[in-house]
Amino acid sequence: MATPGTDDRSPGCKARDEQIAAEPRMPPLDLPPDAASSPVEAHLHPRHRRPVAMAGVVEHGLVRPLDPAVTLAENARVIIVAAE
């Protein structure tokens, strides 16, 4: 058995974890016996895509990828990481 490490969580985080652990368990789903199993990804919203990292520059408030083959959707969300 592994030796537990020190608990570095904040008091608020500990209290939240205890509250969640004390909640009653959810009942199992009422599925027919012949229901086919599927991975969790199949239940996720189809719009949610995996994040992609790419090199780019910000010019006049617009993000321009350095690779011309990369295209972003008009309403794509971008995280900008700046280097000094």
In the predicted model, what is the mean pLDDT of residues 10-37?
89
The answer to whether 65 touches 53, Cβ cutoff 8 Å, is no
> Which pLDDT value is given to residue 79?
76
pTM for this prediction: 0.34
Instruction: Return the SS3 of 11.
Output: helix
> Which pLDDT value is given to residue 22?
95
The domain spans of the chain are: 47-84
Between residues 21 and 80, the one the model is more confident about:
21
The answer to whether 38 touches 45, Cβ cutoff 8 Å, is no
Question: What is the share, in percent, of the chain residues with pLDDT greater than 70?
Answer: 88
pLDDT at residue 18 above 90? yes
